[in-house]
């Protein structure tokens, strides 16, 4: 997770975020350090970032600008949008009142724990 100012462009944080990804669990053996592919919307459609992802061994699945909808990325995107909506259900996260980053991140972690707990309760 990375906390930046609200006026920062998302694409500038793409590579630092990928560098923070922990080892990915999978088949027995050495854990993967990077995901197989990256799904992204049209805001990330730049040749520079596609090239950098390929160099890291990550297959970019980025919707192209000027193309009609229907790339199939919406199937995965709704999970992210739904989770952000759940986080906005917590008033302290909807509008950031805290000036200190550590306090905001603590409330974010607490909200993620509560969301996970509610989700697990429904499944049991």
Residue closest to 11 by CA, chosen among 72, 60, 73, 81: 60
Reply yes or no on whether the pLDDT at 6 is more than 90: no
The 10s digit of each residue's pLDDT in 27-84 is 777 777 777 888 887 878 888 989 999 998 889 888 788 777 666 666 666 777 788 8
User: 61, 39 in Cβ contact below 8 A?
Assistant: yes
Reply yes or no on whether the pLDDT at 103 is more than 80: yes
Architecture of domain 10-123: 2-Layer Sandwich (3.30)
The per-residue pLDDT of the chain, averaged, comes to 81
Per-residue buried b or exposed e for 24-35, using 16+ beta carbons within 10 Å of the residue's own CB: eeeeeeeeeeee
Domain parsing of the chain, residue ranges: 10-123
Reply yes or no on whether the pLDDT at 94 is more than 70: yes
Query: What is the chain's alpha carbon radius of gyration, rounded to the nearest angstrom?
Result: 17
Q: What pLDDT, on a 0 to 100 scale, did the predictor assign at position 106?
A: 92
């Amino acid at each position: 997770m990375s906390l930046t100012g609200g006026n920062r462009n998302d694409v500038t944080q793409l590579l630092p975020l990928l560098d923070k990804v922990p080892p990915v669990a999978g088949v027995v053996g050495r854990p993967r350090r990077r995901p197989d592919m990256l799904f992204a919307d049209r805001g990330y459609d730049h040749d520079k970032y596609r090239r950098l992802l390929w160099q890291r061994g990550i297959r970019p699945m980025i919707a192209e600008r000027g193309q009609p909808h229907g790339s199939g990325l919406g199937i995965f995107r709704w999970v992210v949008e739904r989770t952000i909506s759940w986080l906005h259900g917590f008033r302290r996260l909807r509008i950031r009142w805290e000036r200190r980053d550590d306090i905001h991140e603590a409330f974010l972690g607490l909200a993620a724990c509560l969301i996970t707990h509610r989700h697990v309760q429904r499944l049991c």
